[in-house]
Structure 1
């Protein structure tokens, strides 16, 4: 891989060195995605910014004299995560000379579930699906602010992607897929189909905790890809796309020694760098409604690939939004927050139907003065959660057909140790033997709460629970569980957003090529994962377990195959 000289005009560069704002502090969204690993990142350039700069304007190009080396490849992938890693393995399996660039010192791993339709695993279980029902339900979640052709693309191709991924897991001898067949009873209000495939460590244990997720699978896929010739480079941020005429032909990156290296890509560049949710400047510019409430985001998702795509002429921004959930607390996240406990605002008043998709719960909480609320429950918390029977990310009680993670407690005492004792110590949760005492303790964070108001709310709620009909907010009857037996507990929740899944990014066509504002493809440039938009609206379909990771996997394979066949 010696030095090669190539004559490239200054105007052929689309550079990526604009400073953009330090990343937000990461909290913890534990559940579907797990907790981001602190040492990991996506891939891309720097992340500092100067206020007032036009971030959409391409910065000055890197001089030819600054480039120390040129390396030829067929496919260059930016970002070693849930999209970049399967893209890289797909490419080398297809015989392509492939480079995978990652700015962190290891891969990024968070997701645990992969959604797919029509996999062999589902077929073996006799599971069937209605394409129109699911596609239109996902468009409903998106308020039709999504490209339905992309949702069709996932539906029609995800089964093949899951089967391919499953083959790789089974070849390892240590991992396998389990299918989540225990789905939420929504009372017909929302679909909750059995689409989630969960990579677990063998042997799979039903009704017991399992080790699972991409922390286990990424090393397996990467090891195989490297054995097949993948050029994997950590600590090598992509800083610039190379564009000749109307085609992207490569990437310039900075190696660990600080030298610029040009990677030519005869077939295409795939952006899979994690989106921009970790970049405060871009969040404030593009998504001011959520930027101040972002409590959890994968570190180093600074928008580097996204920016480079925009500088290459890519369109973006039909619906700037990130995944949100009702699990945020001061200092991180609390997985049981999505249980449909009684919720009260700063005045001690009930304010919503608590049994809703998790981002809907966060939206309802954001309507409160102070953007916070309290979850109220009593000594029978384990029995209550058994009756609630929530699933996938919010599952707290084992059940047949459920794929239980190490985050799912085994009994009431285990739940207390895992989720209650730490929060009682932190002060986010208070405990009391009477409602008077509970209200007094809640006043430390919510001074406007009175014992009278709290008792009035509890009396009404318990009356409705006894009746089995929620005349006030319409919660499903079997999830109306009273709060009657001390000790009483109140958990303080805050409105927060998680950037684990960006719901917007670069616009793409059905070939996953980045398109410009006129809808024309930018040849040689593809976007997947959080760098790619158009699949969601302003909510994430939480009842479709693993939809984001499943979409990312599916589109990563398609992008590479399309690039190689173009």
Structure 2
């Protein structure tokens, strides 16, 4: 989730130097464009109250470093922004709150590009996908943002994964490599693009490319992008250094002040072109989660907040730092609901009947398990049952689906239990 600050003209080209960082909030040094709402809403006022003004004595700032661009946060968006800006010739300093760059999962939506075709994903009409997304999101989304993603996702994916050498591409008939160190790409649910109007309830598209790696994430590719940025000689990274204050001059964001967790001192990073806030969401901030995503907070025990990165003090990221910083210089939060980085625990597999503890069906089972899981949360009582045909393996790859359920304590039980 991002602050709704607009991108101001920063004077660095190469497709706006943003690359994959379109999901980041950019506060450019040439002016805070579109960051001040004419009439702040109650949501903005609440968030602004949550932003405590931090007064830092000049004597506490041990040094000042100059840069064209300062990137706050080294997740996928921040890493991509750092690399793209560095390749465009900008001097970039990227600061990260935790001790490592952050990534999780291994799935990307990419289509209508050579890589997707080699993986067996057929070309798809972007307009069809855009219309379906707008319908599923009740037309609250910004169609311009969706269209930008639809137009460039394949190109961006190839640029991002292209940083890793010797990446193996697996077609639909190829076997997975036996070497556990081999990083590879494969397509998820290529057949999922089949849609039968009037029969299928949920319209899915085959557009997901997955990265196979030892830890289940795409970390090797993320790290390769960092190396690409550093190889230009224009970029540097700083870890265990959370951004704690944005400084402004003449109405423009001019610098970021970061705390050095190792010794408790502060460093000021000036930014002549702009600051990119790519610091994650607020899913590890209970106060903000309860206020802006109460439906998630109310069912916290049923969600997985998968953040592997911690700082040297053992603290998590994704505590709303970037949102608060943006608000402190005139930005505002988008009106809820917000997209939270939380995965709901899932039960069972798709396409088999589901019953609540009253013995009642409660959903159309022709849904993805993620959507079924959301409906499960609204069921009375604490038990949900799934009835599976004993001969299901004859016509449905149930063994491959690894049917599981997870309790609220996170413990995993097999379907036979």
- TM-score higher than 0.5 here? yes
2:328 is matched with which residue? Answer: 311
Q: Does 1:354 pair with 2:349? A: no
Aligned with 1:285 (options 284, 291, 310): 291
Could you report, residue by residue, the CA deviation over 1:329-353 in whole angstroms, capped at 9, with x for unpaired residues?
xxxxx5x634333222122322222
| Structure 1 residues 400-434: Cα deviation after superposition (integer angstroms, max 9, x where no partner) | xxxxxxxx6xxxxxx58xx58x98xx987588xxx
- Please show how residues 207-356 of structure 1 align to structure 2 within 5 Å: 213-229=217-233, 230-255=235-260, 256-294=262-300, 295-297=303-305, 298=307, 299-322=316-339, 328=345, 337-356=348-367
2:60 is equivalent to residue 66 of structure 1 = yes
Structure 2 match to 1:164? 159
With over 3 angstroms needed to count, the CA separation of the structure-2 counterparts of 1:244 and 1:372, relative to structure 1, is farther
Residue in structure 2 matched with residue 49 of structure 1 by the alignment? none
Instruction: Output the CA distance in 1 between the equivalents of 2:319 and 2:186.
Output: 33
| Dislocated runs of 4+, deviation >4 Å | 123-126, 171-176, 323-327, 378-385, 426-431
Task: Tell me the secondary structure at the aligned position of residue 337 of structure 1.
Answer: coil
CA 325–54 in structure 1, closer or farther in 2 if over 3 Å, else same: closer
Report the alpha carbon displacement of residue 197 of structure 1 after superposing the two structures with TM: 2.2
CA contact (8 A) 1:80 1:272 kept: yes
Superposition map of 1:150-549 within 5 A: 150-170=145-165, 175-180=183-188, 182-184=190-192, 185-188=194-197, 189-200=201-212, 213-229=217-233, 230-255=235-260, 256-294=262-300, 295-297=303-305, 298=307, 299-322=316-339, 328=345, 337-370=348-381, 373-377=384-388, 379-380=390-391, 382-383=393-394, 385-386=396-397, 397=400, 415=402, 429=413, 489=416
CA contact (8 A) 1:198 1:213 kept: no
Aligned residue number for residue 471 of structure 1: none
Mind listing any 5+ residue stretches in structure 2 that lack a counterpart? 1-45, 169-181, 308-315
Give 1:363 shift: 3.2
Alignment root-mean-square deviation, CA: 3.2
Verify the 8 A CA contact 1:70 1:261 in the aligned structure 2: yes
- SS of aligned partner of 1:367: coil
Q: What do residues 214-262 of structure 1 show as CA deviations (whole Å, max 9, x unaligned)?
A: 2221222223323333211111111111222332122110112111100
| Cα 1:171/1:240, change in 2 over 3 Å | farther
- The structure having more radius of gyration, on CA atoms, is 1
1:120 aligns with 2:114: yes
Q: Which sits farther off after the overlay, 227-236 or 134-143? A: 227-236
* Counterpart residue number, 2:11: none
Using the alignment, how far apart are the partners of 2:412 and 2:224 within structure 1?
39
Further displaced range: 273-282 or 82-91: 82-91
Name stretches of at least 5 consecutive residues in structure 1 with no aligned partner: 1-51, 202-209, 329-333, 389-395, 398-407, 409-414, 432-488, 491-566
In the TM superposition, what whole-angstrom CA distance separates every residue of 1:42-96 from its partner, at most 9, and x where no partner exists? xxxxxxxxxx996355514323332111001111111111211122121222222
- Cα deviation, residue 137, structure 1: 0.8
Inter-CA distance 127–182: structure 2 relative to 1 (3 Å threshold)? closer
Aligned residue pairs, count: 339
